[in-house]
Amino acid sequence: MDLLNIKELDRWIVGDSWINSEIHDHLNKLCDEIGPRWATSKEERYAGNYLHEKFQEYGLDVERDNFEIESWIPRNFTLKINESSLDIKPFNRCPSINIKSKIIDVGFGTEREINFHSKNLTGKIALMDHGFEPFSKPIHYSLRIKMLVSKGIKAIIIIDKKIGRRMEYHSVSDFRDSNPQKHSVPVVTTSREHSVLLKKAANNESLVSLSVESEIYNASTSNIIGKIKGKNNQGEHLILCGHHDTVYGSPGGNDNASGTIGVIETARVLSKMFNFFDIKPNLSIYFLTLSAEEQGLQGSHHFAKTKYNKNQIKPRLVINLDELSTGPLKGLVLGFPHLRDFLQNKIDELNENLKVHVMSQLDPTSDHYPFLAQGIDASHLWRWRFDKRHASSEFHHESADTSDKVNIPELKNYIANLSRILFRLSITETESWPSNNISIEKLRERIKQEKDSVIRVF
Ligand SMILES: [Zn+2]
């Protein structure tokens, strides 16, 4: 394909991404009509059906990847001092508890603070700040929780970092753990404002009542896959993915209607473009919306483990979209370095000043991680980190993450550029891709070493 044609196709892609955008309809459907999409709920199933329909409408081959997960749901939960109710949000998979006990303020849960209270922790409730102690090496909070449990603590109340009585849904686990779902004691969150009352109760040695009724159950769910088939008959392919589930109680505008829409809109634009110009990519492109990211990346783990467990052809590249409202597209972040220069050359053609980076740790905070853990080249978008992050974009695991949190012009720009990048990669012959020589044994060793280290997300 010559340069002139590529420019013509770029113009078509950018025009279609902006002028024929269906972002409004998707947002309305996913966030406002369906609402929270906790994996295994009927709402999540509706969302899956909608995405399935859309892939079909856009002319892709669609598959449903059905599987069972162990899910969890909190039925009732209260936190009280005397008869006054305080803000509470159980952590993912918090077990049931009904306790009335004294509370100990352990600050940030550093070793020093825990040792200071050491003799006084057995049978009590601990109150701990979710943030890092500002003057010492950051300790992953799954480790801080483990330290408290080893001292005989019965339950932990975590103080959310946000202000204004906002509380996020959290998970205890380090997802690099071999059994990330393990939850040894009940852990719940309270708001920063109500933590003041709990600190007073700690000083006065007043009793605090904590009650959580929750249930763990097995249920089925699905990942949805739409495929644009390429000419390559070896099964060579690329993946663009994003999770379609949300945390409980959140309509998930930023997290992750933004990424889900990024996937289906890019599918729409590219499928139409290939048809319109009557061209076929070399590599197939799989558009994948994943379930249960918010419950330990279970949909992505299932997909990566079951589709690539034997000698199947692995994807040349996976691009994971999560929380695209946090800032403008800045580039790609890879887990492994060997594709770096190759991809940088490709995206330089766009002339959008996008950069390819490589993380020094494998990032376990979203659905690219299960692919990385199988030695597959997976990336997420540079938007996560530091510069040009919108100050107003702190909405993800909470009820206020509504459809208005999605920045539509920026999302159009993501879709136009992702379409241009995937188009270029899909017509590149497989011989020109640098080969992936990752050794799975060395990778397992690396993951073990990196476990418990703090990942700088923001
Ligand atoms: Zn997410």
pLDDT tens for each residue of 168-216: 998 887 777 766 556 679 999 999 999 999 999 999 999 999 999 999 9
d(CA 37, CA 259) in angstroms, rounded, equals 14
Residue 310: per-residue pLDDT: 82
What is the distance in A from the centroid of ligand 1 to the CA of 447?
22
Mean pLDDT of 14-22: 98
Residue 453: per-residue pLDDT: 83
Residue 383 has pLDDT above 70, yes or no: no
What is the distance in A from the centroid of ligand 1 to the CA of 252?
8
What is the distance in A from the centroid of ligand 1 to the CA of 199?
32
What is the distance in A from the centroid of ligand 1 to the CA of 262?
13
Mean pLDDT of 112-126: 95
d(CA 373, CA 366) in angstroms, rounded, equals 12
What is the distance in A from the centroid of ligand 1 to the CA of 130?
19
What is the distance in A from the centroid of ligand 1 to the CA of 218?
22
Q: What tokens were used for 247?
A: 């945390």
pLDDT tens for each residue of 396-436: 899 999 999 999 999 999 999 999 999 999 999 999 999 99
Q: Which of 23-27, 77-81, 136-140, 204-208 has the lowest mean pLDDT?
A: 136-140
What is the distance in A from the centroid of ligand 1 to the CA of 359?
19
Cβ-based neighbours of 448, under 8 Å, separated by 6 or more:
none
| Domains of the chain and any CATH numbers | 3-71+218-450 (3.40.630.10), 83-205 (3.50.30.30)
What is the distance in A from the centroid of ligand 1 to the CA of 345?
29
Residue 454: per-residue pLDDT: 82
Which string of DSSP letters, residue by residue, matches 271-301? HHHHHHTT---SSEEEEEEES-GGGTSHHHH
What is the distance in A from the centroid of ligand 1 to the CA of 18?
24
Given a contact cutoff of 8 angstroms between Cβ atoms, the answer to whether 228 and 267 are in contact is yes
What is the distance in A from the centroid of ligand 1 to the CA of 256?
5
At residue 109, what are phi and psi to the nearest 5 degrees?
70, 30
345 upstream amide cis, omega within 30 of 0: no
Residue 348: per-residue pLDDT: 97
Percent of the chain's residues with pLDDT above 90: 85
Residue 12: per-residue pLDDT: 97
What is the distance in A from the centroid of ligand 1 to the CA of 321?
8
What is the distance in A from the centroid of ligand 1 to the CA of 308?
23
